[in-house]
Copies of this chain bind each other. A is one copy, B any other.
Amino acid sequence: MDRIAIIDLGSNSIRFIVMQIGEQGSYKLIYQEKKSIRLAEGMTQETRLLTEEAQERALKCLTVYAHIIEVQKVKKVLAVATAAVRNAVNGASFLKRVHMTTGISMTIISGRAEAALGFSGVIHTIDRKDFLLFDLGGASVEISLVKNKKRLHSVSIPYGAVTLTEMFQSSGTVSQSKLTEMKKFIQAKLDKITWFPDTPLPVIGVGGTVRNLAKVHQRSTGYPLPKLHNYNLPSEDLFEMVKDITSKTFEERQRISGLSSERADIIIAGALTVQEIIRKAKSSYLTISGCGLREGLFFHYYDPIYDKDGDKRQHMLINSVKNYLHTVTGEYAFHSRYVTALALSMFDQWKHVHGLSSRMRTLLMAAGFLHDAGSMINYYNHARHSAYIAANAHIFGWSQKEQVMCSLLCAFHHGFSGKYTKNNEASKILSEEEMLDVRKAALFLALAEGLDESQEQCITQVICTSAKDAMDLRIYTSRNNFDVPAHATGHLLREFEKVFRVPLRVQWFPGSRNANKLVQTARKL
């Protein structure tokens, strides 16, 4: 078991995490801390000096972290400093002081390295191919163009939320002319980027400013999930919010629901920067990434040891689900894999009937793996607990809607429940069509679960066909009777007819001597 500590000393905040790597390379976060220490504060363009006060704030924090690193038996420390230290003339001597005081060896990373690491943190946790990425910090903003999951171009602009605020003195009430001046300044910097795409491109944003803007948006719209990572903020709404924020006094901004009061001074500079990037990219929404530099540092360490061939990065969601299950149970029961194989077999054979997307197939697979996880909370109502876990676990590679869908698939693995849906706030982010898709996919999971009720994997094959007025399911079982699975699937027929508009005709073939293909498939999952 390895423990890796990661420290990101930014210009506005300092962030600290401890990751634990266990069996088969499964990893999890076991500690995290964040403090707004404003290292760049008071560092003017002229002097470019980290002030004594700012250094002391950072040192105090780092002493605490060094202490925790020692106690937690951390094997490896990856500590980096970004723009504030990079731009300061006394940056190197400050890092010597850090080392003397705390024993932590901290590296200054270049804007280019910062962009690379930020990209890595995002590409390991959001399953998208083409996008414009930016990471807005206190003293710089890194922008990258990503095509087919590769970073084509990057640039680091040495202005961030803290430094722009000081430069334009925009911490209080800001006049319209000052706002225009700031916008023009930011636009000029962006216009210098030669490779900035002309055609509209989705934008993913990283950093405290975007997280805060997303939080304000979630509060104002009553969004039912408490999650920022992979949240989509429509550009129209963003522009409205920026207009509102920039017209308010400092005190008024402090009272905005969702806005951190520590950020009420620098939010204007931050929000304007975000707005100008989105505008220039002509993106219709901004996706928030809660992961960036720190996660990038982690994977920079992890990948060469545990994912040499990049397999885990390939099927992000499924591998992330497996990773999660490994951290909690060491190994998940074969029953879950077998049920998944069975559900997918039905999904695939009836593809032309249900018309569900291949993405829904992936969600069904994820739900299959997770469907019994809730038993660790309580066997009673474990479908509901599995749904809670799916909705809240540290799993990457799905959109927030997809996470809700997978959670519902888990909840319905013994059958659909209208009552559960009604009381589940999160399900309200799905459209009626999406909910119907979930109910269809859930039936394959529920049928599979019922067919392996006795957890002995005796169904050797299912053959799924459809006629004009019915769907047909032929079930081959190695047992001589089919009481158990018949007993456990009978109650699903009504829901089947409701959802697919035709009845399901089930035929049983006991005493099957076929090779158990489903077990073979399950072993490979």
Chain B residues in 8 Å Cβ range of A484: 64, 67-68
Partner of A389, one of B32, B67, B377, B393: B377
Tell me, yes or no, whether A467 is within 8 Å of chain B by CB. Answer: no
- Say whether A388 faces chain B, with CB atoms less than 8 Å apart: yes
17 new A-B pairs (CB below 8 Å) besides A30-B379, A64-B484, A379-B394?
A31-B379, A32-B379, A32-B380, A61-B487, A63-B481, A67-B454, A67-B483, A67-B484, A68-B454, A68-B455, A72-B455, A327-B376, A377-B393, A378-B392, A378-B394, A381-B392, A385-B392
- Across-interface contacts of A67 in B (CB, < 8 A): 454, 456, 479, 483-484
Does A463 sit at the interface, judged by CB under 8 A? no
Docked complex Cα distance between A328 and B420 (Å)? 26
- A377→B389 CA distance, assembly (Å): 6
A30 touches B375 (CB 8 A): yes
Let me know if A456 and B380 touch, CB within 8 A.
no
> Is A28's CB within 8 Å of the partner chain B?
yes
Residue A305 interfacial (CB < 8 Å) = no
The listed residue with most B CB atoms (<10 A of its CB), out of A31, A377, A455, is: A377
Chain B proximity mask over A473-503: 1 for CB below 8 Å, otherwise 0: 0000001010110010000000000000000
Which of B71, B379, B388, B483 is close to A388, meaning CB atoms less than 8 Å apart?
A: B388
When distances are taken between beta carbons in the complex, the residues of chain B under 8 Å from A31 are 379
Q: Does A418 have its Cβ within 8 Å of any Cβ on chain B?
A: no
Mask, A16-41, CB within 8 Å of B = 1, is 00000000000011111000000000
**Quick one: closest B residue to A457, CB to CB?**
B71
Copies in the complex: 2
Compute how far the CA of A328 lies from the CA of B378 in the bound complex, rounded to whole angstroms: 10
- Say whether A355 faces chain B, with CB atoms less than 8 Å apart: no
Closest 6 CB pairs of A and B: A71-B456, A29-B379, A378-B394, A68-B454, A64-B484, A71-B454
Complex CA distance for A393 and B375, rounded to whole angstroms: 9
A328 interface neighbour in B71, B376, B454, Cβ under 8 Å: B376
Total contacting residues, chain A, CB less than 8 A? 39
> Is A60 an interface residue when CB atoms closer than 8 A count as contact?
yes
Report how far A68 CA is from B483 CA in the complex, Å: 11
A226 at the interface (CB under 8 A from B): yes
Complexed CA–CA distance, A380 and B368 (Å) = 24
Contact between B28 and A379, CB atoms less than 8 A apart: yes
Of B60, B376, B456, B479, which contacts A483 at CB under 8 A? Answer: B60
Closest to A376 in B: B328
CB within 8 Å of B: which A97-138 residues: none
CA A30 – CA B372 in complex, angstroms?
11
> Are A64 and B456 in contact, with the CB atoms below 8 A?
no
Quote the shortest CB–CB distance from A336 to chain B (angstroms): 14
B487 touches A64 (CB 8 A): yes
Which residues of B lie under 8 Å from residue A61 when comparing CB positions? 487
Take A226-B381, A385-B392, A392-B381 as given contacts and tell me if A455 and B71 are in contact as well, using a CB distance cutoff of 8 Å.
yes
Encoded as 1 (CB less than 8 Å from any B CB) or 0, chain A from 343 to 387 comes to 000000000000000000000000000000001111111001100
Tell me how far the C-beta of A14 lies from the nearest C-beta in chain B, rounded to whole angstroms. 12
Closest chain B CB from A287 CB (angstroms): 18
14 of the cross-chain contacts (CB-CB < 8 Å) are: A29-B379, A29-B380, A64-B454, A64-B484, A67-B454, A67-B479, A226-B384, A327-B376, A328-B376, A377-B388, A378-B393, A378-B394, A381-B392, A385-B392
Which residue of chain B lies nearest to A391 when distances are taken between CB atoms in the complex?
Answer: B377
A64: chain B residues at CB < 8 Å are: 454, 483-484, 487
Q: Indicate the member of A60, A381, A454 with the most B CB atoms within 10 Å.
A: A454
CB A378 to nearest CB in B, in angstroms, measures 5
Nearest Cβ in chain B — how far from A62, in angstroms? 10
Taking CB atoms, residues of chain B closer than 8 Å to A71 are 454-456
**Which residue on B lies nearest to A328, using beta carbons?**
B376
- Residues of the B chain whose Cβ atoms lie less than 8 Å from the Cβ of A328: 376
CA distance A344 to B135 in the complex (A): 45
A280: shortest Cβ distance to chain B, in Å? 32
Q: Which residues does chain B contribute within 8 Å of A487, judged by CB atoms? A: 61, 64
Residues of B near A384 (CB, < 8 A) are 226
Cβ proximity bits A265-304 to B, threshold 8 Å, 1 near / 0 not? 0000000000000000000000000000000000000000
A32 contact set on B, CB distance < 8 A: 379-380
- Closest-CB distance, A366 to chain B (whole angstroms): 16
- List residues of chain B with CB within 8 A of the CB of A385: 392
**Contact residues in B for A28 (Cβ distance below 8 Å):** 379
Contact string against B for A residues 47-77, beta-carbon threshold 8 Å, 1 for contact and 0 otherwise: 0000000000000110110011001100000
CB A474 to nearest CB in B, in angstroms, measures 22
Q: Which residues of B contact A63 (CB under 8 A)?
A: 481, 483
**Across-interface contacts of A392 in B (CB, < 8 A):** 377-378, 381, 385
A96: shortest Cβ distance to chain B, in Å? 21
Contacting residues, chain B, for A381 (C-beta < 8 A): 226, 392
